[in-house]
Amino acid sequence: MLLTINGLDKSFDRGKVRALCGVSLQLAAGKTYSILGESGSGKTTLARLIAGLERPDRGQIHYQGNLISSESQHVPAEKRAIGYMFQHYALFPHLTIAQNIAYGLKKSPRGRTVVEEMLALVNLPDYGGRYPHELSGGQQQRVALARALAMKPRLLLLDEPFSNLDTSLRVDLRTEIFAILQTTGVCAVFITHNAEDAMAISDEVIVLKAGTLLQQASPQALYARPARPYVARIFDALLELSAPLLAEFGYSAQAGRQYFLRSHHLSFASENDYRTAVTVHKSAFMGKYYEIEVAVAGQVFRVQSPAPAPEGTGELGWKESDLLVFGE
Amino acid sequence: MKKIIYILFLAVAMTACQGETSEGGETTEKTDEQVVNVYTHRHYDVDQQLFAQFEEETGIKVNVVNANADELIQKMEAEGEASPADVLITVDAGRLARAKDKELLQPVQSEFLEKTIPAHLIDTDKQWFALTKRARVIVYVKETVKPEELSTYEALADPIWKGRILIRSSSNIYNQSLLASLIANLGEDAARGWAEGVVENFARTPKGNDRDQVKAAAAGDGDLAIVNTYYLGRMLNSEDAVEANAGKAVGIFFPNQEDRGAHINISGAGVARHAPNQENAVKFIEFLASKEAQEVFAEANYEYPVNPEVEPAELLQSWGDFKEDQLPLSQLGEFNKLANLTFDVVGWP
Amino acid sequence: MAARFQTYWQKFRRNFDRWSVVALLLTLFIIVPTVFLLLQLIDGPGESWGHFVENLLPKYLQNSLYLAVVCSVLTLLLGVSSAWFSTRYDFPLRRSLEWLLILPLAIPSYITAYAYAGVFDYGGPVESLLQGLSPEAAKVDIMNIHGLAMVLSVSLYPYVYVACRAFFLHQSQSLIEASQVLGQNQVRSFFRLILPLARPAIVGGVILVLMEVLNDYGAAKYFGVNTFTTGIFKSWFGYEEFNTATYLAALLLVIIFSLILIEQRQRRRKRFVVDGKGGKRLARIRLRGTRGFLVTAVVGLPVVLGFLIPVAQLLYWAVQVYSQVAWGEYFSVAGQSLAIAGMAAALCVILATALLLAGHWNRLRWIGWLTKLGVLGYAIPGAVIAIGVYIPGLVIDKWLIRTAEATFSTKIGLVLTGTVIALIYAYIVRFLAVAFNPISAGKQKVQNSLLEASQSLGKGPWATFFRIELPLLQPALLGAFILVFIDVMKELPLTLILKPYNVQTLAIEAYQYASDERIMEAAFPSLTIVAVGVLPVIFLNRLIRQD
């Protein structure tokens, strides 16, 4: 394993704010990861701990087999050779693009070729003499990436790289950066609050909530087998089905478990495993789907259906394989 | 930009080094150069001129620290045996007496000084010697006051002068010495009564310096002002027409001529107790009391010379001779603190 | 309890590093004189204390309080209005007025006081004018406490102006627009939004003004106004009670420190900095015609009062005594002044930076707080600092003399107090705050992520400092250097006490002429201080603007 984290705790303000509790994870060389979480989930703190910008209260971090962080031991960030790309790029305003990229390198002819390589890599070959403020946001970002990669780190942390960009641009840039990272073979860790970004670029996604690691899994596994309702909710609106409601559909619930359905998994199709008659209140066309408000046994909820609902009443149902069961 | 900073630092560092070495040379005794270190409250161009003359005649270099006498005394006291001071010069007797009290001065045996300077202008233990004299006198507005109405300092407390007297604040040493002389001559209670009376007679809240009092008198803000002769002399010869005219509008009156005489104060010098260059210090004071130096003092600065062989400046002569208070000047120092406290009690700001 | 101590001790051991040591040592180095003075509080005052409290203290306190209040209000009016108009509006002469407004900083306030006394004196321009209008007209007397408050205010308002201007320049357009959209007009936006937001800047400026007012001795003495500081000098020299003087100084220190603490506590929870990502800077509104000229007049008034009038009076005097100036000596004195001020300013900047960084790099929070004590010296009157430096300095000097005699059997002089070392050290103690504050503000503007980026690129704290922070801090460092430089050029009481042999400064020369009632001769050295101060002030202004 490239990086192993065991039981990491970190709090701020003399313990008043707990940023991370008992986080453990492993990262393998050459793969791409995302740390996904809302603001305040501790994702940035985790990245900063890995980079050595913070010290943990408890727990250990091993990098390439060596202990780099623990309660008593701390390898300073500058000795870790872990790349870090900052959210607002943190380009040095008084240095040119080339000087920025060369910053972490030893002064040598070799260094100069590395700068050229990096500029070519990020597709900014003629920009070496410019200053950061003369570049557009996307270009600045690529410079920040080039600067971090120039050190040839085996692990690169990218803090919210796409959060400053609007949707169309972010997809382009995401693809571009992903391609660049692929050519270098670096283990990249994206810190992001955007599920789509995380799914699009990662081999594995690490979900954090309120300082706790909920799940580390591939995008497919994350979607198919979410460890918590929270993880499933990242992707879709969920409907919680209570035991009496399940009974309406002819499904017998077990005690101590929670049952959820993604709202587009309810439909009026006839091949559903469980079905029940419902009253349709309202049906609205949303483009990709119809949002339909229905009532089952006096309880009102919304369903996303590919087809419009029948007038008045209909037979609503779902497939057994789509049911998400948590607990036990 | 970087270059400018480097050059600046370099320049600063160089001057710093220069300053240091030259000072080191002066304070150590290993060098053969003869020096005398002077702590002085006097800061007149004429002094500079005399110091240069002394250097030329004797080859002894004069090092000068210029500051208020109070601060100089504080400095000497703190320095103790390590003090580099050879000579202390102040512009009033009270401060010299204080220095003596604090055992900062040493007795000097000098036939020349004792022969040249009148006895009441020398400390009883020969620890300090007057160099020049100034009288604190009453000036009156010629238009509104006749000199016959004036007699003594004491009479200034009389209610007929209500709202007519101009005098500066009590933080000034010359006022402190005047009150100290009254305490010494009349006793504490009478002196306090006098101060109360004068406060009652103030034309305005004390402010400004001696020259300002004369200007205010000339402008009609009051009828009398209490000032030093030395400042009046300067005013009359001022480049500034307003000052000169103000000086001309007032007459000068030496008080207490029927009894003890007008209050005088001195500028004087003593040899520091721990003087590293004691001989040079004595030579230096002797030089300042010499005829040639006294003539320079008298001509340039409107001070009365202490050397009887030297005539005062023409202007001073035109004011006529006057009788001086013979009170031993050391008493001004003794009563200085009491004078200060008295000023506070009577509300003389 | 014991367990708590245990954890604390562990935390201490884990976090106490070489930066903690550096920070502690530097702080100690700076606050020795202050601590020495505060210790006087334990000793208590001298025997005249009762007399002082009974007869003088109430009046002195009343005067100081009056000056503090009136000067705060006046400098606030002058400083905030001129800063607001010159950043928000465009009007005739704006670009010149922007830097002219700072110039009063270059004139020592006691010299402004002398000049104003001259302006209103008998035969001076004001009296002549009034006499010309009507021979019956009374002289306008400004030599009283009201006049003093006025003179100090026109001479000190730039402290508020500079602080507010820097703040206004960094406000984003969107804030004002938001306020306008919410139905507030320009004037109401100013009072409801900008003024409350600018509070830290305004308070920072006013505190500087207050400290200058409380430290002033020369102007108050000449105007015949007795203040708290008069009391310090009076008990020191009049009563010959040094302990009473230091006791008073220590009390003053406590009062000022409490004021600062109260202010900081009150605003602790609020945030005043708006995250200015993107956000356009404030755009100026162009004023034409009468309104433009009206604003020019309003903004120009402080310049006329604080700079042009005193300088004109000084020039008038200087011309009259021009023929008597000894140029050789004059240049030598000017040279010494420049060298001393340059040296003190450079050291102040270096030490302030070191203190700031050590406080920042060390990981124990209380040590970081402690370093802030280094700026206390600014609140102490110069003469008192001189004593706080002088007495401990002498103890060391005497020890050095004894040691040198015993070990090398050589006689040495007063190594510290007899040379510029003590003088420069005292300047550092007094003016460190002047350098510390702009550097600290500059440091806050250097985003942490830049430093972390450097770290993540393999550079340690030193390399990061020299390659990232120092270049980015350069404008702030230069600004700090200039401010200290000007302050040292103007400084008087401390220099009087601590200056070594044959060292003469312009400020001392001006003061000595003035105290010998030769105001006209004082004009030349005063004007030189002004001239030396004006150039860096112009430069400083360019820095603020670029920034």
Which of A72, A76, A86 is facing C453, going by the closest CB pair? Answer: A86
pLDDT the model gives residue C278: 43
Helix, strand, coil shares of chain C as percentages rounded to 5?
A: 80, 0, 20
Decide which of B133 and A313 is more confident: B133
Q: For C127, which residue in chain B has the nearest alpha carbon?
A: B219
Burial category of B158 from C-beta neighbours within 10 Å (exposed 0-12, middle 13-18, buried 19 and up): middle
In this structure, the number of other CB atoms found within 10 A of the CB of residue C198 comes to 22
Residue B23 has pLDDT above 60, yes or no: no
Radius of gyration of chain A (CA): 24
pLDDT at B2: 46
Please count the helices (runs of H) and the strands (runs of E) in chain A. 9, 17
3-state DSSP percent of chain B in helix, strand and coil, to 5: 50, 15, 30
Average pLDDT of span C168-182:
69
Q: Is residue A90 less than 8 Å (CB to CB) from chain C? A: yes
Residue B56: pLDDT band with limits 50, 70, 90:
very high
What is the Cα–Cα distance from A302 to B203, expressed in whole angstroms? 95
C401 pLDDT higher than 80:
yes
* Sequence-separated (6 or more) residues with CB below 8 Å from residue C327: none
Which residue of A lies nearest to C462 if distances are taken between CA atoms?
Answer: A78
Closest residue to C452, CB basis, from A53, A83, A104: A53
Contact (CB<8Å) C456/A72: no
**Cα C6 to the center of its chain, rounded Å:** 43
B36 has pLDDT over 90? yes
For B299, B311, B314, B325, the CA distances from B320, given in Å and listed in that order, are: 16, 12, 10, 16
Please answer whether residues A263 and A286 qualify as being in contact, where contact means their C-beta atoms are separated by less than 8 angstroms. no
Picking from B195, B349, B205, the residue whose alpha carbon sits closest to that of residue C59 is B349
In this complex, the chains that touch A, judged by 3 or more CB pairs closer than 8 A, are C
Collapsed DSSP state (helix, strand, coil) of residue C17: coil
User: Considering only residues 240 to 299 of chain B, which have any Cβ-Cβ distance to chain C shorter than 8 Å?
Assistant: 240-242, 245-246
User: What one-character-per-residue DSSP string does A147-159 give?
Assistant: HHHHT--SEEEEE
Q: In this predicted structure, what is the pLDDT of residue C266?
A: 64
Average pLDDT, chain A: 88
Q: What angle do CA B222, B225, B231 make, to 5 degrees?
A: 135
Chain C residues inside the 8 Å CB shell of A79: 458
Q: Do A90 and C471 touch (CB under 8 A)?
A: no
Q: What is the pLDDT of residue A188?
A: 94
Q: Which amino acid is at B58?
A: T
Q: Which of A145, A159, A316, A161 is nearest to A239 (CA)?
A: A316
pLDDT-based confidence at C173, cuts 50/70/90? low
The band of C363, judged by pLDDT with boundaries at 50, 70 and 90, is confident
**Both structure tokens of A237:** 């609106």
d(C-alpha B63, C-alpha B60), whole Å: 10
B231 at the C interface (CB within 8 A)?
yes
Chains in contact with B, where contact requires at least 3 CB pairs less than 8 Å apart: C
Find the residue in C nearest to A99 (Cα): C467
The helix/strand/coil state of B35 is strand
Nearest Cβ partner of C458 from A81, A90, A93? A81
Distances (CA, A) of B180 to A71, B183, C498: 75, 5, 30
Q: How confident is the model at residue C1 (pLDDT cuts 50, 70, 90)?
A: low
**What token pair was written down for B169?**
């604040």
- pLDDT number for residue B32: 64
Chain C residue with the nearest C-alpha to that of A93 = C472
Cβ-Cβ contacts under 8 Å for C54 (sequence gap 6 or more): none
Q: What's the token pair of residue C317?
A: 């005097």
Contacts of C500 in chain B (CB under 8 A): 23, 65
User: Which pLDDT belongs to residue A289?
Assistant: 85
Q: Could you read off the pLDDT of A126-179 as tens digits, one per residue?
A: 899 999 988 988 888 889 999 999 988 999 999 988 877 777 778 888 888 888
Q: Which residues of C touch A86 (CB under 8 A)?
A: 449, 452-453
Task: Kindly calculate the radius of gyration of chain B based on its CA atoms and give it in whole angstroms.
Answer: 22
CA gap C60, C57 in Å, rounded? 5
B295/A102 Cα distance (integer angstroms)? 78
Q: Tell me, what's the ipTM?
A: 0.78
The verdict on a CB contact (< 8 Å) between C239 and B340 is yes
- The pLDDT value recorded for residue A186 is 92
pLDDT at B22: 38
Chain B nearest CA to C195, separation (Å): 36
Query: Which residue does chain C place closest to A48, by CA atoms?
Result: C452
Q: What is the DSSP string of C365-419?
A: HHHHHHHGGGGGGGGS-HHHHHHHHHHHHHHHHHHHHHHHHHHH------TTTTS
B189 — pLDDT class (breaks 50, 70, 90): very high
Buried b (16+ CB within 10 A) or exposed e, B187-206: eeeebbbbbbbbbebbbbeb
| Residue-level pLDDT at A105 | 85
Interface contact flag, B27 C418, Cβ < 8 Å: yes
Q: Say if C230 is an interface residue toward chain B (CB within 8 Å).
A: yes
Per residue in C191-228, pLDDT (tens digit) is 877 788 888 788 888 888 888 888 887 888 888 888 88
Nearest residue to B191 (alpha-carbon basis) of B164, B153, B135, B159 = B153
| C468 interfaces chain B, CB cutoff of 8 Å | no
Q: Supply the pLDDT for residue C282.
A: 63
Q: Which of C82, C67, C62, C378 is nearest to C202 (CA)?
A: C82
Looking at this protein, which amino acid is placed at residue B43? H
What confidence tens digit (pLDDT) does each residue in B166-175 have?
999 888 888 9
Taking the C-alpha atoms of residue A159 and residue B45, their distance in angstroms, rounded to an integer, is: 72
DSSP class per residue in A16-69: TEEEEEEEEEEE-TT-EEEEE--TTSSHHHHHHHHHTSS--SEEEEEETTEEEE
pLDDT at B130: 94
pLDDT digits (tens, 9 = 90+) for B266-314: 999 999 999 999 999 999 999 999 999 999 888 888 889 999 999 998 8
Residue B13 scores a pLDDT above 50: no
Task: Mutation target for C interface from A57, A92, A165: give the one with most C CBs within 10 A.
Answer: A92
- Rounded to an integer, the average pLDDT of C446-472 is 87
Tell me the Ramachandran region of residue A277: left when phi exceeds 0, alpha when psi lies from -120 to 50, beta otherwise.
beta
Residue in chain B closest to C478 (alpha carbons) equals B5
Q: What is the DSSP letter of A267?
A: B
With an 8 Å Cβ cutoff, are B340 and C518 in contact?
no
Distance of CA B346 to the CA centre of its chain: 25
* A and C: number of Cβ contacts within 8 A: 63
Per-window interface: A 239-298 vs C, CB < 8 A: none
CB C449 to CB A104 under 8 A?
Answer: no
Helix (H) or strand (E) holding C119: helix C109-119
C411 and B344: CB-CB below 8 Å?
no
Q: Which residues contact residue A92 at a Cβ distance below 8 angstroms, ignoring those fewer than 6 apart?
A: A99, A100, A103, A132, C450, C453, C454, C468, C472
Contact criterion met (CB below 8 Å) for B253 and B322: no
Q: Span A37-66, mean pLDDT? A: 91
Mean pLDDT of chain C: 83
pLDDT of residue B268: 94
Which residues from chain C sit within 8 angstroms of residue A80, using beta carbons? Answer: 456
CB contact under 8 A, C501 and B218: no
Q: What is the mean pLDDT of residues C73-90?
A: 92
Question: Cβ contact (<8 Å) for C457 and A86?
Answer: no
pLDDT at C344: 94
What phi and psi values does residue C351 have, to the nearest 5 degrees? Answer: -65, -40
Among C450, C457, C464, most A C-beta atoms within 10 A, so best to mutate, is C457
- CA dist C115 and C147 (Å) reads 13
Strand spans (E) along B31-127: 35-40, 61-66, 87-90, 105-106
CB contact under 8 A, A103 and C460: no
Q: Hey, which of A116-130, A235-249, C27-41 has the most confident mean pLDDT?
A: A116-130
Going by pLDDT thresholds of 50, 70 and 90, the confidence category of residue C503 is confident
For residues C55 and A186, which has the higher predicted lDDT (pLDDT)?
Answer: A186
d(CA A219, CA A200): 9
Instruction: Check C459 against A93: CB less than 8 A apart.
Output: no
Range list of H helices, C267-363: 289-303, 309-321, 327-361
Q: Between residues 127 and 166 of chain A, which touch chain C (CB distance below 8 Å)?
A: 147-148, 151
C177 pLDDT above the threshold of 80: no
Query: CB-CB: which of C390, C401, C517 is closest to B210?
Result: C517
**C-beta of residue B250 within 8 angstroms of C-beta of residue B139:** yes
Confidence of residue B190 (pLDDT cuts 50, 70, 90): very high
- Strands C285-286 and C89-90 come out as parallel
Using CA atoms, how far residue A224 sits from A114, A207, A323, in Å, is 43, 15, 10
Comparing alpha-carbon positions, the chain C residue that sits nearest to A47 is C456
Hey, are the CB atoms on B30 and C411 less than 8 Å from each other?
yes
Percent with pLDDT over 90 in chain B: 53
**Helix A109-121 vs helix A167-184: angle between axes, to the nearest 10 degrees?**
140
Q: How confident is the model at residue C273 (pLDDT cuts 50, 70, 90)?
A: low
Beta-carbon pairs below 8 A across chains B and C: 170
Strands B61-66 and B35-40 come out as parallel
Query: In C267-326, where does DSSP find H-type helix?
Result: 289-303, 309-321
> Mean pLDDT over residues C398-415, rounded?
81
Partners of C516 on chain B (C-beta within 8 Å) are 43-44
Cβ distance C468 to A76 less than 8 Å, yes or no, reads no
Question: Which residues of A fall within a CB distance of 8 Å from C449?
Answer: 86-88, 90
Q: Which residue of C has its CA nearest to A148?
A: C457
Cα distances (Å, whole numbers) of residue C69 to C66, C72, C253, C301, C453: 5, 5, 18, 21, 47
Please indicate whether, in this complex, the C-beta atoms of C390 and B75 are within 8 angstroms of each other: yes
What pLDDT score was predicted for residue B183? 95
B17 pLDDT higher than 60? no
CA A270 to chain C, closest CA, distance in angstroms equals 54
Tokens of C370: 């402690």
| Shortest distance, CA C381 to any CA of chain A (angstroms) | 38
Contact B171 C234 (CB under 8 A): yes
Query: Do chains A and C meet with 3 or more Cβ pairs nearer than 8 Å?
Result: yes
Residues C437, C163 contacting (CB under 8 angstroms): no
